[in-house]
């Protein structure tokens, strides 16, 4: 059995959807001001539901796993060009950077 759906709460579902599509290759399947749906290449669905306040636990995050450290670096550089502030790479459990997504949750990028 594989995981095929995740629902995330976001303060700005449209901006979150744009972020996930621009930097991580997901496809925007549409929605409204209060609800957006994005899909990855394996047809896993992420729904983004609007909330006035998002308060995930400090360690909550979602992760993307590119194939190489060079890809992690390329994504981090693209994020910086887009005005985001990814962390410096670390080697805690892989080669990782983290970034705060629009909508108020953390994204991990690890090879």
Alpha-carbon distance 74 to 80, whole Å?
10
Count of domains for the chain: 1
Identify the pLDDT of residue 92: 87
Q: 5-53: per-residue pLDDT in tens?
A: 999 999 999 999 999 999 999 999 999 989 999 999 999 999 999 999 9
Q: 61-88: per-residue pLDDT in tens?
A: 999 999 999 999 999 999 999 999 999 9
CATH number, domain with residue 15: 3.10.180.10
Identify the pLDDT of residue 45: 97
Higher pLDDT, 13 or 92: 13
DSSP state of 88: P
- The set of long-range contacts for 15-20, using a CB threshold of 8 Å and a minimum separation of 24, is 15/102, 15/103, 16/48, 16/101, 16/102, 16/103, 17/48, 18/102, 19/101, 19/102, 19/103, 20/46, 20/101
DSSP state of 102: T
Identify the pLDDT of residue 33: 87
Domain that holds residue 38: 5-52+61-110
Q: Give the N- to C-terminal CA distance of the chain in Å, as an integer.
A: 24
pLDDT grade for 100, boundaries at 50, 70 and 90: very high
């Amino acid at each position: 059995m594989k995981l095929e759906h995740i629902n995330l709460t976001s303060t700005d579902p449209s901006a979150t959807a744009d972020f996930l599509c621009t930097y991580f290759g997901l496809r925007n399947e549409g929605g409204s001001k209060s609800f957006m749906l994005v899909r990855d290449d394996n047809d896993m669905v992420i729904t983004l539901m609007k909330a006035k306040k998002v308060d995930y636990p400090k360690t909550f995050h979602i992760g993307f796993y590119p194939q190489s450290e060079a890809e992690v670096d390329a994504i981090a550089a693209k994020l910086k060009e887009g005005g985001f502030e990814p962390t410096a790479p670390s080697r805690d459990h892989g080669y990782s950077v983290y970034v705060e997504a629009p909508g108020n949750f953390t994204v991990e990028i690890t090879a």
